[in-house]
Structure 1
Amino acid sequence: MTKDHDDSADSDSDGTDSDGTDSDATDDDAAEDAEARDSEDADAEDAEATEDAGGTDLDVDDLDSREWRDQGPYDVTEVDLEAEAETGPRIDLGSMIITGLEGAELRLQVADETQQIVSAMLISKDSALELGAFAAPRSGGLWSELREELIEAAGAAGGSAAVVEGPFGVELRRLLPVQTPDGEQGYQPSRMWVAEGPRWLLRGIVYGQAALVDGLESPVAELLDCFRSTVVRRGDEARAPGDLLPLTLPRTESVQQPGDEGSGEVEGAG
C-alpha cells in the first residue's frame, strides 16, 4: 500500500488498503459481494454521522476547551518509560513511542522525496490505526483550525466529512474517493482522533472495520487503547505549527510483537 504524504498535519493518507487483508483470488464473486456490502455499510455510516453532526447542535467550542488527555496520550515528561506498558511492548520511533498490539503488523510510511518516515500504521485484523505527531502552538487550538481545512478538502475531492463527539472531543469522520484494486471508484471511510499536548498534536486515523463502527466497542476499543497509550517526545527544537515531528526506525527487537516472528515493515509513500 503506497500513499502520498505532505509533511504537515492537514495532509493524510487517502489510499490505504484499510482492512489489512487479502481478498480470496479464487472466489471473485464473493469478494465483489463483500466489497459491495462494505460500500453500502460505509454509505450508511456516513449518512448517520452527518445526521448526528447536523442534528444535535454539537458545541465544538465547548469540546475544544476541555482537557481530554487524563487517560492519554501522554507527553514524555508524564510517564516512566522504564516501567512496562500495561497493554503491550513499547516501540520507540523517536518523536512517538507507541504500544504494540499482539498479533498486529507495524508499517512505517516513508515519503519518497525526503526518505523521511511520516507516520506509523498498526494493522490489526481488518482494522488499522495510522499515527502521526506534529508541532503545535503552546496555546493549543491547532485542531480547530486544521479540521476546517480537512472538511473543505474532503468536499473538494468529491467526498464528505462530518464532526461528531468522540473520545478526544471533536472527531472527524470522512468518506474519501479512492480507486479500488480492480480499478473501480470507491469510497474509504475513516475516523480521525486528535489529542493536543504541550506544543504537540497527535493524530490517529482509523481505517477498516473500526471506521464503520458507530461507537467505541471492539474493534475500535483495541485501537483506542493504542492511541491512548502513545507517548509523544516533541523535543525542544523550534518548529512551525503543523510541522511533522520526525520519526526514526525502531530497534529491531522493539518492533517484535508477542506471537509474531516478523518485524516492522517500511513502505514508500510516493
Structure 2
Amino acid sequence: MGIFRRKAREDGPTASGHDDDAASAEVESDDTGAEDIEATDLASETDSVGSDVGDAADADLSDAGDDEADDSHHELPGRLPRPHDLDRSKGPFDRSEVKNLDDRLDFGALALRPLAGMELRLDVDQEAGNITGITAVLGESACQVQVFAAPKSRGIWDDIRDEIADGLITGGGSATEELGPLGIELAVRIPARGNDGRTTYSAARFAGVDGPRWFLRAVFSGAAATDAAAAATLVDFVRDTVVLRGSEARAPRELLELKVPDAVAEAAEEENAPRTLDPFERGPEITEVR
C-alpha cells in the first residue's frame, strides 16, 4: 500500500523533510500496477525515516544562478573526474523519450509510477503553498525527488554537488564523491545537535541527473543511504521517472511546478463532501445482551 500525503514545509525546498499536514490522500498500488485511491487523515502519524536529513543538506538551487563554478570549493575525498554525463538510456526520461504516460501518476513536472508497498509524500512549502518535491518511502528507506530548470548548453550537477559538499563540510559534516547507479553521487554525513548538546550524524546520499534543460535531484535517506541493496528498488523508481519540463523560458535552477494528481484530488474532494442522509438506508444496529 502506498500512502500519498502532504508534508508542510516552512522554508522551501530542502534535501528532505517529514512534517505531515492534516490533509492527505491514499494511493494503493498492487503488484499489477492498478491503483485504488482512498482519502485518509494522517495528522496523528509521525515519520520515522530520514527525519534528520533536512535543512543542513540543502543546496540553495534557487539563488545559485548559472555562474561557472569557482575554485573555492573544498577538496573532496575520492573526487571523480568531471564533467560526468549519465547514460539515461534506462532513465530518468524526458517526456520526448516516452510514448505514453497512462501507467504513471501525473504530478505536473514529474510523472511517477508508485511501486507496491511504497508511500508517496508531498513536500509542501507552507508559506508559498506550492509543492517542492515528492518523497517515496519504502520500508526503512526514503528518496526525495525534485526537478529544476537547467541551461540548454550544459549540465549543472557538477556545480551543485560542490555546493552541497561545501555547505555540509562548513557545518561540520562530511561529503565523499562515489560512482553509483545514477552516476557520480555524494555520500554525506549531516550533523545535528541534540537537546543534551551532543552532536549526532545522519547519513544521506545525493544523486543528480542532467537532462535536456532540466535537472533532477534525488536524495536517499534511511537504510538506502548506506545499503545498496536497500536502495535498489528506490533507484529503479527514480530511473522510471519522466520529466515534463515544458517549453517555457525559465531561469536556471528554478523549481519546476508540481501538482496533486487529478485522480487523487478528486478522491479527496469526494471524501470531504457532506453526505446526504438516505431515509431508506439501514442504520446501525444494537444487540441487547441479557
TM-score, normalised to structure 1, is 0.69
- Indicate if the aligned counterparts of 2:193 and 2:200 stay in contact, CA closer than 8 A: yes
1:59 is aligned, of 80, 84, 91, to 80
- Indicate if the aligned counterparts of 2:50 and 2:222 stay in contact, CA closer than 8 A: no
**Where does 1:80-159 land on structure 2 (aligned, <5 Å)?**
80-82=99-101, 84=103, 90-159=104-173
- Indicate if the aligned counterparts of 2:118 and 2:138 stay in contact, CA closer than 8 A: yes
> Partner letter of residue 121 of structure 1?
T
- Alpha-carbon distance, 1:104 to partner: 1.2
- Alpha-carbon distance, 1:148 to partner: 1.0
**Counterpart of 2:89 in 1: which secondary structure?**
coil
| RMSD (Å) for aligned C-alpha atoms | 3.1
Cα deviation code 1:87-123 (max 9, x no counterpart):
xxx2210001111021111110111221110000011
**Where does 1:37-56 land on structure 2 (aligned, <5 Å)?**
54=77
Matched, 1:205 2:226: no
- Indicate if the aligned counterparts of 1:92 and 1:254 stay in contact, CA closer than 8 A: no
Give the whole-Å Cα distance in 1 for the aligned partners of 2:146 and 2:190: 19
Give the whole-Å Cα distance in 1 for the aligned partners of 2:80 and 2:183: 10
TM-aligned CA distance change 1:189 to 1:77, over 3 Å? same
1:13 is aligned, of 9, 13, 16, to 16
Structure with bigger gyration radius: 2
Taking only the aligned residue pairs, the percentage that are identical comes to 34
1:250 is aligned, of 254, 261, 267, to 261
Give the whole-Å Cα distance in 1 for the aligned partners of 2:108 and 2:123: 14
Give the whole-Å Cα distance in 2 for the aligned partners of 1:18 and 1:160: 25
TM-aligned CA distance change 1:182 to 1:69, over 3 Å? farther
**Counterpart of 1:164 in 2: which secondary structure?**
strand
* Structure 1 unaligned regions, length at least 5: 23-52, 85-89, 257-270
Match of 2:89 in 1: 70
- Report the count of equivalent residues: 212
- Indicate if the aligned counterparts of 1:18 and 1:207 stay in contact, CA closer than 8 A: no
Structure whose residues are more often helix by fraction:
1
Cα deviation code 1:52-74 (max 9, x no counterpart):
x736xx5321xx34342110000
Give the whole-Å Cα distance in 2 for the aligned partners of 1:77 and 1:207: 30
The higher relative CO (CA closer than 8 Å, separation ≥ 6) is in 1
**Counterpart of 1:219 in 2: which secondary structure?**
helix
Matched, 1:232 2:243: yes
TM-score, normalised to structure 2, is 0.65
* Structure 2 unaligned regions, length at least 5: 1-6, 20-45, 52-75, 268-290
Cα deviation code 1:1-58 (max 9, x no counterpart):
7655445xxx523778985399xxxxxxxxxxxxxxxxxxxxxxxxxxxxxx736xx5
TM-aligned CA distance change 1:184 to 1:123, over 3 Å? farther
